[in-house]
Amino acid sequence: MISASQAGMISAGIPVAILLFTPFVLKEHIKGKAWIGTVISILGVILVFQGKHAVSSQGSVIGDIVILLSCLAWGLYTVLGKRYGK
7, 70 contact by CB (below 8 A): no
Closest by Cα among 54, 49, 76 to 64: 49
Tens digits of residue pLDDT in 23-79: 999 999 999 999 898 888 878 877 876 765 555 545 567 777 888 888 899 999 999
Amino acid at site 62: I
Return the half-sphere exposure (C-beta side, CA atoms, 13 A cut-off) of residue 28. Answer: 14
The full set of domain ranges for the chain reads: 4-81
CA separation for the pair 1, 62 (Å, rounded):
13
What is the per-residue pLDDT for 32? 92
Can you give the pLDDT at residue 14? Answer: 87
